[in-house]
A and B are shown apart, each in its own frame.
Chain A
Amino acid sequence: DGGITQSPKYLFRKEGQNVTLSCEQNLNHDAMYWYRQDPGQGLRLIYYSQIVNDFQKGDIAEGYSVSREKKESFPLTVTSAQKNPTAFYLCASSIVGHLNQPQHFGDGTRLSIL
């Protein structure tokens, strides 16, 4: 079955450490997205990419970095500059060129600080 796989499901970060969250999709979608979800809040866009080797900042990109070397993969690095990284992180993908196409989501990674 096609879908989006996020790993790990749970991740712990030490102070001053960078951590990378994995997101892989086999839906052949061009666009991929990273969102952050905090308790009681909606999702906020961190970064998105509509094509390989290109990506754009979302609303809360500070303290995060991404790469898009392959169509299937869009890893997110939470750097030490992100002072409040504890959150639930969701990756999504969608078709490009059809504005009414929904985004498909992975099951998320929960990041906590040790």
Chain B
Amino acid sequence: GDSVTQMEGPVTLSEEAFLTINCTYTATGYPSLFWYVQYPGEGLQLLLKATKADDKGSNKGFEATYRKETTSFHLEKGSVQVSDSAVYFCALTPQTGANNLFFGTGTRLTVIP
């Protein structure tokens, strides 16, 4: 079945460090891929998305590229800030069927000054 495997956390980085959070998926065909972010006590916000192979999603300095050959969608940011501290979820929507999201388990990022 469809599933997402996400790098386990927590991840702690110093401000201005480089961030990578790994995400791989299992799905048939070409799912749509998403990264959501959850700040403490809040719901999820869409961070970026990619809907076809080789697409690059980007927002707020974060980037992720849809790699069909490695079934991956790793999240990167060149220089993290304290305000980036949150939980990050990788998710997919299958190519066919209902528009349901399959989530990874989330990665908690803490950025220290």
Contact status B99-A94, CB under 8 Å = yes
B100 neighbours in A (Cβ, 8 Å):
33, 45, 48, 58
For the A-B complex, the count of residue pairs with Cβ-Cβ distances under 8 Å equals 67
Contact status A48-B42, CB under 8 Å = no
A85 interface residue (CB < 8 Å to B): no
B43 interface residue (CB < 8 Å to A): yes
Contact status B99-A96, CB under 8 Å = yes
B34 interface residue (CB < 8 Å to A): yes
Give which listed residue, A6, A41, A94, A96, contacts B105 with CB less than 8 A.
A41
A31 interface residue (CB < 8 Å to B): yes
Chain B contributes a number of interface residues (CB within 8 A of A) equal to 26
Contact status A105-B44, CB under 8 Å = yes
Chain A contributes a number of interface residues (CB within 8 A of B) equal to 30
B95 neighbours in A (Cβ, 8 Å):
99
B111 interface residue (CB < 8 Å to A): no
In whole angstroms, what is the CA distance A28 to B9 when docked?
36
Looking at the assembled complex, report how far the CB atom of A99 sits from the nearest CB atom of chain B, in whole angstroms.
6
Contact status A42-B104, CB under 8 Å = yes
Beyond A42-B106, A99-B32, A100-B32, whether A50 also contacts B43 by CB under 8 A is no
Give which listed residue, B46, B89, B105, contacts A102 with CB less than 8 A.
B46
Contact status A107-B43, CB under 8 Å = yes
Contact status B103-A42, CB under 8 Å = yes
In whole angstroms, what is the CA distance A105 to B96 when docked?
22
Give which listed residue, A43, A50, A98, contacts B98 with CB less than 8 A.
A50
A13 interface residue (CB < 8 Å to B): no
B45 interface residue (CB < 8 Å to A): yes
Encode contact with B along A84-101: 1 for CB under 8 Å, 0 otherwise.
000000101011101111
Encode contact with A along B63-107: 1 for CB under 8 Å, 0 otherwise.
000000000000000000000000001000111101111011110
Enumerate the 4 nearest inter-chain pairs by beta-carbon distance, A residue then B residue, closest first.
A42-B103, A105-B43, A100-B51, A100-B32
